[in-house]
């Protein structure tokens, strides 16, 4: 019973954060800082470490600000692919 | 919401117009697209911005300098000039919002996460919530074959 409840909570959280992530990405704005101020983006950041696996999984530069805010780490790289790979490696090394 | 509805929601003047769009997979924004960069976001606050030569707080002038680095020079308007490619840079209430690039006689913009829109400039200009304001400046460079 408890495990089913936990599964329900997990699925509910997954659905919610994925929906917020998709909302955050669905913008016609080119300034990442402006995007990061949107309500949906702020909600994703507010989940803290729990959001890390989900936003790293997206593999998009857009989530660099969120990851820097949550972890306090500044990535090394310039291109999108470099930044995305930095976070993927960091997440793997840190057990996410 | 489908892509067409989303585009017309952002830019109401697209409704009823003969525009095209197609999906792309690269991770880049509108400014990067105008500079033929398809793996990076170019803005004053991004990792790709050449902050060693253009300060991050340089505003609209910073973007002009950016385009100069890439071989662009100021020009009067967005009229088609054979042998040249042009960019149109938009601001809204004084703030940079967007840039489009001319391909022959059409303009293209990277919009949202994964769409390239083919359009006329005035179809995305304006002051509805998500419109880009007005063209602040045009620049051009010789097409590099």
Q: Which domain holds residue B22?
A: 3-142
pLDDT of residue B118: 97
pLDDT at A9 over 90: no
Q: What is the pLDDT of residues B58-69, one digit of tens each?
A: 999 999 999 999
Chain B nearest-CA distance from A39, in A, is 16
Asked if A80 and B28 come within 8 Å (Cβ–Cβ), the reply is yes
Q: Which residue has the tokens 């400039």?
A: B121
ipTM for the whole complex: 0.92
Q: Does A3 touch chain B (CB under 8 A)?
A: no
Non-local (6+) Cβ contacts of B72 within 8 A are B87, B139, B140, B141
For B20, the token pair is 């095209």
Q: Does A68 touch chain B (CB under 8 A)?
A: no
Q: Which of A27, A34, A73, A80 to mutate to test the interface with B (most CBs of B within 10 A)?
A: A80
For residue A81, give the chain B residue with the closest CA. Answer: B39
Higher pLDDT, B136 or B130: B136
Q: What is the mean pLDDT of chain B?
A: 95
Quick one: which H or E segment has residue B66? helix B59-69
pLDDT band at residue A7 under the 50/70/90 scheme: low
The Cα A3–Cα B13 span in angstroms is 52
Asked if A31 and B6 come within 8 Å (Cβ–Cβ), the reply is no
Quick one: which H or E segment has residue A71? helix A64-71
Residue B34 near residue B107, CB atoms below 8 Å = no
Q: Does A74 touch chain B (CB under 8 A)?
A: no
Asked if B113 and A62 come within 8 Å (Cβ–Cβ), the reply is yes
Residue B97 near residue B132, CB atoms below 8 Å = yes
Non-local (6+) Cβ contacts of A70 within 8 A are A45, A48, A49, A51, A52
Higher pLDDT, A6 or B141: B141
Q: Which of A19, A30, A83 to mutate to test the interface with B (most CBs of B within 10 A)?
A: A30
* Residue B14 CA from chain centroid, whole number: 16
Quote the pTM value: 0.93
Q: What is the pLDDT of residues B96-112, one digit of tens each?
A: 999 999 999 899 999 97
pLDDT band at residue A6 under the 50/70/90 scheme: low
The Cα B68–Cα A91 span in angstroms is 38
- Longest Cα separation, chain A: 48
Q: What is the pLDDT of residues A19-75, one digit of tens each?
A: 999 999 999 999 999 999 999 999 999 999 999 999 999 999 999 999 999 999 999
For residue A59, give the chain B residue with the closest CA. Answer: B27
Question: Considering its fold, how many domains does chain B have in total?
Answer: 1
Q: Which residue has the tokens 């936990």?
A: A6
With contacts defined as CB-CB under 8 Å, which chain A residues touch B99?
Answer: 30
């Amino acid at each position: 019973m408890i495990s089913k409840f936990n599964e329900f909570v997990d699925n509910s959280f997954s659905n919610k954060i994925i929906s917020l992530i998709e909302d955050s990405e669905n913008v016609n704005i080119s300034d990442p800082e402006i995007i990061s101020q949107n309500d949906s983006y702020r909600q994703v950041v507010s989940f803290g470490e729990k959001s890390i696996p989900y936003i790293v999984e997206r593999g998009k530069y857009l989530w660099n600000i969120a990851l820097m805010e949550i972890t306090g780490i500044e990535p090394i790289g310039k291109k999108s692919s470099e930044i995305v790979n930095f976070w993927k490696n960091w997440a793997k090394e840190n057990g996410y | 919401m489908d892509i067409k509805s989303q585009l017309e929601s952002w830019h109401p003047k697209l409704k009823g117009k003969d525009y095209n769009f197609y999906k792309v997979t690269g991770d880049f924004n509108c400014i990067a697209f105008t500079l033929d960069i398809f793996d990076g976001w170019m803005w004053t606050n991004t990792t790709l911005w050449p902050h060693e030569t253009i300060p991050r707080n340089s505003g609209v002038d910073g973007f002009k300098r950016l385009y100069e680095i890439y071989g662009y020079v100021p020009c009067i308007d967005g009229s088609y000039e054979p042998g040249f490619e042009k960019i149109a840079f938009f601001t809204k209430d004084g703030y940079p919002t967007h840039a489009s690039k001319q391909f022959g006689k059409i303009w293209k913009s990277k919009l949202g996460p994964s769409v390239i829109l083919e359009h006329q400039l005035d179809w995305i200009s304006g002051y509805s919530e998500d419109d880009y304001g007005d063209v602040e400046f045009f620049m051009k460079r010789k097409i590099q074959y």
